[in-house]
Amino acid sequence: MKLNRTAKRTVDILKLVSKKPDGVTLDEICEKLDMPKTSAYDIATTLVYTGMLHVAREQRQRYTIGLTAYRVGINYTNNLDFISVIDPVLKNFAREVGKTVFFGVRSEDAIVYIRKFEPENPIITTATVGTKNPVYCTSLGKAILAYSDEEEQQEVFERLVFKKFTERTIDSLPAFKEELTRVRERGYSLDARELEEHMECVGAPVFGPDGGVVGAISLSSLYKPTEDYEALGHLASEKAMELSRSLGFLGNIS
């Protein structure tokens, strides 16, 4: 199959810029994508003209994702009807396990709770839809970051400022990296009373059709010494994979 080089370069630029919330310079585009400066400039200028990219005209121009690209993404999400896929599954899951179930996504160095489902007799949790918490002390954040690519991980690592919420909160980058390794080994993540002293959570990643992490689910409840958190973790992992399959993921995680 013959690919159009300009079209491919255009897509590569959009993908690169989409991963850089603070923007990318033309020199960085050329370096990362091994692209001639004249070609990169022509493509970037066209993308800015069409609204696919936005350029901040500072001392060194930085390109970020534009409004048109955002609208295209929203249309894709609407067509996929992502929320209608996960909502009934997680609603039933909360009832089955008797725990509060969250679905969250990463926003820079934090996670945002975008869905919340409670069992019939819920334990009150402080997290609500729309609130944010750090990636390093939440099961959602750990699950998402553990399965993100190295470049995304590095971007998050550079932003992190560790704060102790409880005596168990991870408070250093080396310790956090070790924790992410353990998450991948287990297949699920733990918030072992790291954000709130009385709450313990397990989490697992959800993947999209392209194999990328689209978010994570978590089970949250009051800490109980007698609770089998390993079993809960495997349960969360199985349900997360069920969701991933529903969204078109065909691969396997390792």
For position 19, what pLDDT does the model report?
81
- Say if residue 225 is in the same domain as residue 114: yes
For position 85, what pLDDT does the model report?
80
* CA angle at 134 for the pair 85 and 155, rounded to the nearest 5°: 90
Tokens 């690592």 found at: 157
Which segments of the chain have a pLDDT < 50?
A: none
For position 58, what pLDDT does the model report?
67
For position 126, what pLDDT does the model report?
64
The whole domain housing 40 covers 5-71
What is the domain count for the chain? 2
For position 12, what pLDDT does the model report?
92
252 occurs within a structural domain: no
145 occurs within a structural domain: yes
Instruction: Evaluate the CA torsion angle 195, 205, 247, 69 in order and state its sign.
Output: positive
Which of 48, 71, 94 is where one domain is finished? 71
- Say if residue 18 is in the same domain as residue 50: yes
- The domain that contains 9 carries what CATH number? 1.10.10.10
For position 217, what pLDDT does the model report?
93
- Say if residue 111 is in the same domain as residue 180: yes
Please measure the distance between the N-terminal and C-terminal CA atoms of the chain and give it in whole angstroms. Answer: 30
Main-chain phi, psi angles of 247, to 5 degrees? -90, 0
253 occurs within a structural domain: no
pLDDT, one tens digit per residue, over 155-181 is 889 888 898 999 999 989 999 999 999
- Say if residue 94 is in the same domain as residue 214: yes
- Say if residue 21 is in the same domain as residue 90: no
195 occurs within a structural domain: yes
For position 181, what pLDDT does the model report?
93
